[in-house]
Amino acid sequence: MRRFNLEGVFQLENSDIVITGRMDVGDIIKTNDLILIPDGGYLKVDKIQMFYKGSKIFYKGSKIGDNIGIHLTCSLGSGSYQPSKDHLETFLKTNLEIIDISEFREKKLKKLGI
């Protein structure tokens, strides 16, 4: 299991949302992983930015203990949605679970009984 401690939510000028925090538990987080949020939605990791390594450098992965910013694509259920900065701020100081796409598909198929 991988967990990310959500510490901040920012909206960029181009309307993209970035969440910041620290990897607390588990293996690396990488682009295209999914971050599950308590309301049943999930956030797709588009880019990972490590603050201590430079503000303009993006990485393909991050490991435990790294302070990172994650640029997001957001989805809920079968449709897409873009949660607001305020909505995501309700989950501050929450440890969010991170899964990869294959784990997500497995869970969905198991839930459907396939």
Q: Tell me the whole-structure pTM to 2 decimals.
A: 0.75
CATH architecture assigned to 2-112: Beta Barrel (2.40)
Are the C-beta atoms of 35 and 98 separated by less than 8 Å?
yes
What is the C-alpha to C-alpha distance for residues 41 and 55, in angstroms, rounded to an integer?
A: 28
Q: What is the pLDDT of residue 9?
A: 93
Residue that has been written with the tokens 């682009």 in this structure = 31
Residue that has been written with the tokens 């992965």 in this structure = 61
pLDDT digits (tens, 9 = 90+) for 51-105: 665 555 556 666 677 788 888 876 555 545 567 888 889 989 888 888 887 777 7
Listed in sequence order, the residues at least 6 apart from 68 whose beta carbon sits closer than 8 Å to its beta carbon are: 20, 21, 22, 23, 29, 48, 49, 50, 51, 62
Domain boundaries, the chain: 2-112
